[in-house]
Structure 1
Amino acid sequence: MRTMTGTSQATDLGPEPGLHLEYCGEWFTVLPGETFSVGREADLAIDDNPFLHRRLLQVSEFEGLWLLANVGSRLSVTVTDGAGRLQSWLAPGARLPLVFGRTTAVFTAGPTTYELSIYVAEPVFSETHPAASEGTTTIGDDVTLTVSQRQLIVALAEPLLRRDGTGLGEIPTSVRAAARLGWATTRFNRKLDNVCDKLDRLGVQGLRGGVRAYATNRRIRLVEYAIASRLVTRADLPLLDLKTDEE
């Protein structure tokens, strides 16, 4: 395993075989036959956050195919292709093949959300035109949000959207996010219910804890999904200062 600091683009890494990870502007190369871990005390030690597993993620090669495994015991990881079109929720103990040229992993430990990118030198699949297939959602075509619903998501995701060269951010509480928008907390929670209902009907996991109950960490899951799927981007930040008459 080799470390390269200050490389800004995957194309700078050259045609060498293997897998490349990028976090906060630092690049790591994993060669065939090697195993690489991510966590609090791992090959990539991303933070001393006590809520973060010592080892959460692990990448390794098996018969020519790179695999991403969740080796933690509590935290789930949102994994998406580079364009944010196909998404999976990687539970503890699960693993999946890295078949795209770029894969994004987003996860939350305590109050902090992290994002890292994984590049495969020789991907199995190449990205073409956006398309939805069975079991997947094409963001933008199937998700229709009102302006106020999008404002709510941007308010929750603002720390991650505004990050400058870092792959982490702290998700605000509902009270703080409501205040950021100038809304009453009751209005914010009602809008949050509506957004979670809409995405839950589209098959987004983790927003409900049961048939009638919302998941206790739905804000976290909503931000993970929105960031990984590019449901909101930095271009949406001006919405935070937009006043609407929506209720």
Structure 2
Amino acid sequence: MKPLKIEFCGEWYEVVSPDDFHIGRESDLVIDDNPYLHRRFLRIYEDFGLWWLGNVGNLLTATVTDVTGQVQAWLAPGARLPIVFPQMSVLFSAGSTTYEFTIHTGDEFYTSATSVTGPSGSTTIGPIPLTSSQRLLIVGLAEGVLRQASPGRGDIPASSDVAARLGWSITTFNRKLDNVCEKLAKRGVAGLRGGKDNLATNRRLRLVEYAVATRLVDKDDLYLLDRIDSSDEAP
């Protein structure tokens, strides 16, 4: 088995067979001393001739995507998936902080391809359309993650802080958040519907994870916030 390489906050780690590699608060890769983070959350290990990523925690989930964001999986506690793309991004949240690291492998079992409309008129589900205000809301929540120079950590601001920055009332912010979460939930995105077990904080974190992992928003969208900052500074 070829070694894997992991990038987190500009630092590189190597995983060599047959050793396991754990990621968490007290692991081979120490993510943070965040008390909401499991001591051992994710495990990378070899099995059946493949590298696998497993969730060995009991509460937190992780979002895993290929480099294009077209292939996305939600890794629940106890679940595992094979590492079959040349590069994979892993995002997860603990408390009010979202973390990201990338896995690099020399093997390429699968590649991603963009589907297009054929002569017969058949199509696949395309990118999820967002209104300008929905995109602005997501970028406002995800700014801390999007401004990272390399995969690492980003704090998710409170709803009231984002609303104030965008010039919205908290009622307007919550209504727009409800709308975009409902739109994505109808497309099959898990973890965005309200309920007694899904706190508002969890929903915002899940929205950021999904949007960044699937490239629904990216660094190029930060100009939306920069434009607001520029208008605020204008005399």
* Class of the TM-score when normalised by the shorter of the 2 chains: 0.7 to 0.9
Superposed displacement of residue 99, structure 1: 0.9
1:219 pairs with 181, 200, 204, which one?
204
CA contact (8 A) 2:101 2:151 kept: no
- Tell me the equivalent position of 2:77: 92
The superposition leaves residues 75-127 of structure 1 with CA deviations (integer Å, 9 ceiling, x where unpaired) of 00011111111111101111111111111110001111100000122121133
- Give unpaired runs (5+ residues) of structure 1: 1-15
CA contact (8 A) 2:102 2:151 kept: no
- Tell me the equivalent position of 2:98: 113
For the residues of structure 2 that align with 1:177 and 1:214, how far apart are their CA atoms? 24
For the residues of structure 1 that align with 2:21 and 2:34, how far apart are their CA atoms? 20
Amino acid at match of 1:81: D
Task: Indicate yes or no: 2:114 matched with 1:130.
Answer: yes
CA contact (8 A) 1:207 1:214 kept: no
Amino acid at match of 1:178: A
Superposed displacement of residue 20, structure 1: 1.1
- Tell me the equivalent position of 1:169: 154
Task: Give TM-score scaled by structure 2 length.
Answer: 0.88
The superposition leaves residues 165-197 of structure 1 with CA deviations (integer Å, 9 ceiling, x where unpaired) of 451011011111111111111111111011001
User: What is the 5 A alignment of 1:140-155?
Assistant: 141-155=126-140
Aligned-CA RMSD value: 1.9
For the residues of structure 2 that align with 1:215 and 1:38, how far apart are their CA atoms? 25
For the residues of structure 1 that align with 2:226 and 2:133, how far apart are their CA atoms? 11
2:214 pairs with 220, 229, 242, which one?
229
Amino acid at match of 1:45: V
Task: Name the SS of the counterpart of 1:34 in structure 2.
Answer: coil
Task: Give TM-score scaled by structure 1 length.
Answer: 0.84
CA contact (8 A) 1:107 1:113 kept: yes
Task: Name the SS of the counterpart of 1:73 in structure 2.
Answer: coil
Runs of at least 4 residues off by over 3 Å: none
For the residues of structure 1 that align with 2:171 and 2:3, how far apart are their CA atoms? 50
CA contact (8 A) 1:82 1:102 kept: yes
CA contact (8 A) 1:208 1:214 kept: no
Task: Name the SS of the counterpart of 2:88 in structure 1.
Answer: strand
CA contact (8 A) 2:60 2:76 kept: yes
Task: Indicate yes or no: 2:64 matched with 1:64.
Answer: no
- Give unpaired runs (5+ residues) of structure 2: 117-123, 229-235
